[in-house]
Structure 1
Amino acid sequence: MAVEPENQQTNIKSGVVRLKFSQVDPYPNHPFRLYSGERLDDMVASISNYGILTPMITRIKDNGRYEMLAGHNRMNAGTLAGLDEGDFIIKENLSDEEAWMYVIETNVMQRSFADMLPSEKAAVLALRHSKMFSQGKRNDIIAELRMLENPQYIKEKSTSPLIGEKLHSDVQLGIEYGLSKNSVSRLLRIDKLTQALKGRVDASQIGIYPAVALSYLAEAEQQDIEKVLSENEFKVDMKKAEMLRSYSESSKLNEKTAYQILSGEVNKKPKSTTPSPVKIKHKVYSKYFPADTKASEIERIVDEALEWYFSSKVKEGTPK
């Protein structure tokens, strides 16, 4: 059981309860990777010494279990430190949109945007760009998260740039996050990919530009592409991505055509049934024809000679 310093404030007005980690499920399709390496090691060491100081935030699910909103890394590090329970604030009557804000804003406060993976940046920008974005609600959530981390936090500080005026357009988002308008647009498209394809973008297996093209495909089509990629070692370049999108727009994209495109089979030229052109060198035909022999005469004689040659072979029983 975690032991916290005596001066740690845990009696938040929303109420703090003790829950077993086994009662709490991760947020479905959580868009942020868990800490690893030195950052995880430092968190495990801190929790081993002091416990989990900041309560985690969860909401109750229809099946009676709990869904993590803020604290995936704390629970993971706590588990590695040997804990099996921790302090949680249980949020009630949250809409799915509000729950999503807790997930996103917690990670924005704890991570550098520049260090995020493409899919993580995409998730942040998609929230800021969406119609469900409520500046007033976001301000309240950020103020609550800051208060949990620092009980001396003064809510009046909520006029900081992080909370600032409502931003929606690609240009305004780019200014806030140090990105060009086009970069914002591309990341917003990345957010339309399935989780599996986002993972390939994050692992640099699919480039940003091909990923944007794939983002226009239906979810079922993206799943077909992932299935083909998972079973083969195909690469997705821009040409293939654009062809996949073209087939999708003409309702011709399925697992079979996806395989043909990704394998390069679509672009392979059929083998010719006729022999390649052959040029007879001068030193060869000059042994048999005078210098003034016309080309048409040479072609006639060569044709007759070949006909005689192959007919002779057939008579001898030799395959052509």
Structure 2
Amino acid sequence: MKSSAKNINLTSVDDLFSTEESRADANREKVMEIPLTELFPFKDHPFKVKDDEAMADTAESIKEYGVLVPAIARPRDDGGYELVAGHRRHRASELAGLSTMPVIVRNLDDDAATIIMVDSNLQRENILPSERAFAFKMKLNAIKRQGARSDLTSRQVVGKLETADIVGKESGDSGRQVQRYIRLTELIPELLTMVDEKKIAFNPAVELSYLKKEEQTDLLEAMDMEQATPSLSQAQRLKKFSAEGKCTLEVMCAIMSEEKKGELDKITLTGDKLRKYFPKSYTPQKMEETILKLLEGWQKKRQQQQER
């Protein structure tokens, strides 16, 4: 009896294994050397890349050792790659005179890329309040969109505060603190710059963010006229007047002209001013003890002079 089976070509064992290996290799992330000119910044990247001393140190390190940690990027529709993590390394590589840098290329959607971009930068030290504020806002919006897409038929995945808790998890900030930082994005650029420069404290700045934009502009004028910045209690009153529709320039000037409690008795001596008078080994506590002893000696000397 003739077999009804047709000729079947069986794949050899070697071919089977090589196919599986090639598939695994295709799915494995690779580090690629990509020209710096083909790497573009992330859209609306909230973190500033400055040519400061820290950048100069990074460039020197890269010049000597190369880029030790690959950047992360994703393909662009217009060609090249969009940096997701590694903007500072990219700039330092330029300053070091390199033409390429190691990069891991991933196919990421906008929200996944935003979350990685924010998390990779929030681990840095010396992040400005404005950088943290806009980064938190971008991540919060990305997580909200992911949650909305995950299951449109069930209850909302998480509430507002729960989502904010998730946003702050990587940086150790509570959901409440995340929401307070995001409030800073409502400040006009001039006031936000003053927060970054520590001319306006964080807590008053949060209260001022509730003022209307035109009121914030008037506040700049009032601060300039009175040569003062709002304390927390003053900012809270300004917020209240704004809610009542009474936050005029005249009201702002009246509030800003008030003497702040303890302002006349307060003397601030920064470490930068004092450091040149003490050995490098002195701690702030040791410096304080020495200053108090010197003042005591000065006081006794004055008393002795007065008794003569």
TM-score by length of 2: 0.50
2:168–2:175 contact (8 Å) kept in structure 1: yes
1:216 to 210, 224, 227: 210
Structure 1 contact 27–68 (Cα < 8 Å) conserved: no
Question: Secondary structure of 1:13's partner?
Answer: coil
Map 1:49-68 → 2, pairs under 5 A = 49-59=64-74, 67-68=82-83
The residue number in structure 2 matching 1:13 is 29
1:70 aligns to what?
85
Could you say what secondary structure the match of 2:72 adopts? strand
Read off the aligned partner of 1:99 and give its amino acid letter: A
Tell me the matched-pair count: 218
Stretches of structure 2 that go unaligned for 5 or more consecutive residues are 1-26, 148-160, 258-308
* 1: CA distance, partners of 2:83 / 2:166: 31
Q: Is the 8 A contact 1:58 1:89 kept in 2?
A: yes
How far does the alpha carbon of each residue in 1:67-108 deviate from its partner, in whole angstroms, 9 at most, with x for none? 43211110121122123443444544522x222212111113
Q: Percent of counterpart pairs with the same letter?
A: 28
Range with bigger deviation, 243-252 or 201-210: 243-252
5 Å-filtered alignment, 1:40-119, equals 40-59=55-74, 67-92=82-107, 94-95=109-110, 97-108=111-122, 110-111=123-124, 116-119=127-130
Match of 1:25 in 2: 41
- Report the CA distance between 1:49 and its aligned residue: 1.6
1:106-130 C-alpha deviation (Å, 9 max, x unpaired): 113x425xx5443444456556766
Q: Which residue of 2 aligns with 1:5?
A: none
Greater gyration radius: 1
Deviations, residues 190-210 of structure 1 (Å, cap 9, x unaligned):
355455543322221111221
Flag the 1:198–1:246 CA change in 2: closer, same or farther, 3 A: same
Q: Which residue of 1 aligns with 2:144?
A: 132
Please say if residues 192 and 215 of structure 1, whose CA atoms lie closer than 8 Å, have aligned partners that are also in contact. Answer: yes
Query: Within 2, Cα distance between the matches of 1:55 and 1:42?
Result: 18
Alpha carbons 1:240, 1:261 under 8 Å: kept: no
Aligned-residue offset at 1:64: 5.0
Residues 19 and 87 of structure 1 are in contact (CA less than 8 Å); yes or no, is this contact kept in structure 2?
no
How far off its partner does 1:19 sit?
2.8
Alignment of 1:156-195 (within 5 A): 168=162, 183=177, 185-193=179-187
- Alpha-carbon contact 2:73-2:81 (below 8 Å) kept: yes
Consecutive aligned runs of 4 or more in structure 1 exceeding 6 Å deviation: 169-176, 229-232
Amino acid of the residue matched to residue 144 of structure 2? M
Residue identity in the other structure for 2:95: L
Q: Residue 162 of structure 2: SS of its match in structure 1?
A: coil
> 1:100 and 1:209 mapped to 2: Cα distance?
27
Q: What is the aligned-residue RMSD (CA, Å)?
A: 4.7
1:187 is paired with a residue of what secondary structure? helix
CA separation in 2, counterparts of 1:75 and 1:49?
A: 15
The aligned amino acid for 1:103 is: M
Contact map agreement 2:164 2:179 (CA 8 A) in 1: yes
Report the CA distance shift for 1:116/1:20 in structure 2 as closer, same or farther (over 3 A). closer
Q: Deviations over 1:154-173 (max 9, x none)?
A: xxxxxxxxxxxxx9367788
Letter in 1 for 2:195: V
CA distance in structure 2 between the aligned counterparts of 1:246 and 1:217, rounded to whole angstroms:
9
**Taking structure 1 as the reference length, what is the TM-score of the superposition?**
0.49
Whether the 8 Å CA contact 1:69–1:102 is kept in 2: the answer is: yes
**What is the CA distance between 1:188 and its match in structure 2?**
4.3
